[in-house]
Amino acid sequence: MSGDLAVDVQGVSKVFRDDKGREVQALHDVSFQVRRGEIVALTGRSGCGKTTLLRIVMGLEHPTSGTVEVDGEQVRGPGVNRGIVFQNAELLPWRTALGNVEFGLEARGLPKAERRAAAERAIELVGLAHAAHRRPHELSGGMRQRVGIARALAIDPAVLLMDEPFSALDAQTRENMQAELLEIHERTGKTIVFVSHDIDESVLLADRVVTLVPDPGRVHGVLDTAFGGSTSLDERRGSAEFALRRHELLQLVHGREIQQQDGVSA
């Protein structure tokens, strides 16, 4: 694998068996790559295999065939080169925000002082230094999700993998968190792969969007959605590129080819 690749998914297929023993082909021959420092979204309609694909990259599911490499290493299970964020952070209720972030580091056998320092850095990175000693029930939904992101970042992973990270949040908090994620990306340069069923979110945040279509889940197209420079979310939302890319992505998600619009082709 070339040195500037963070994630390399090659020919991944996944067959599940349902309760009655019938085969369900969730993914068929899926390949895509993510370069270091990129933000890539996986999107598509319900049941197209987004979560299954991300769980395979996380190491929580094994592919029936095909391979996944992260940071040059073949994925055979969960590993410390991947930070994982789910829709709900699932924090330990008896631990503080900082304690929850430290928890993620305990399995790594770091001395306590190093753990504390790494957790403090991560909490600061997500803008929660002022709430580091609060317990989960004293935090808002957005703050809890920030703790989840800090926990994933504290291990200094090669890649941050996020499954619908903001979809359980109210609209305003969600917008704040989207902006926050771009700031974290700017500060850390981390490679980020996230699953979202939300077209706008995918276009706004990602440099490229991998679209999947169902039955069986497969890649239908990869759309370049990078906005040049450090544009704010508001600037992005109001831009002509946003409208065009949103339109193109909708076509891909619905299994169509991109039609040229205003003389611009995909």
> Does 18 sit near ligand ATP (CB under 6 A)?
yes
List the structure tokens of 4: 């500037």
> Does 145 sit near ligand ATP (CB under 6 A)?
no
List the structure tokens of 60: 């929580």
Binding ligand ATP (rule: CB under 6 A), the pick from 32, 39, 49, 201 is 49
DSSP annotation of 84: E
Number of CB atoms found within 10 A of residue 258's CB = 16
Q: Which stretch binds ligand ATP (CB under 6 A): 43-51, 79-87, 101-109, 144-152?
A: 43-51
The H or E element containing residue 249 is helix 240-253
> Does 62 sit near ligand ATP (CB under 6 A)?
no
Q: Are 44 and 211 in contact (CB under 8 A)?
A: yes
> Does 43 sit near ligand ATP (CB under 6 A)?
no
In this complex, which beta carbon is closest to ligand ATP, that of residue 14 or of residue 151? Answer: 14
Residue among 39, 73, 40 nearest 59 (CA): 73
DSSP annotation of 129: G
In this complex, which beta carbon is closest to ligand ATP, that of residue 126 or of residue 206? Answer: 206
Binding ligand ATP (rule: CB under 6 A), the pick from 26, 70, 147, 182 is 26
Q: Which of residues 215-234 bind ligand ATP (CB under 6 A)?
A: 217
In this complex, which beta carbon is closest to ligand ATP, that of residue 18 or of residue 262? Answer: 18
In this complex, which beta carbon is closest to ligand ATP, that of residue 16 or of residue 186? Answer: 16
Number of CB atoms found within 10 A of residue 54's CB = 21
In this complex, which beta carbon is closest to ligand ATP, that of residue 48 or of residue 126? Answer: 48
In this complex, which beta carbon is closest to ligand ATP, that of residue 16 or of residue 129? Answer: 16
Q: Which sign, positive or negative, has the C-alpha torsion 193, 196, 202, 205?
A: negative
Could you give phi then psi for residue 41, rounded to 5 degrees?
Answer: -105, 145
Residue 55 Cβ, how far from ligand ATP at the closest point, in Å? 8
List the structure tokens of 250: 């909708």
Which residue ranges make up the site for ligand ATP (CB under 6 A)?
A: 16, 18, 24, 26, 44, 46-52, 197, 217
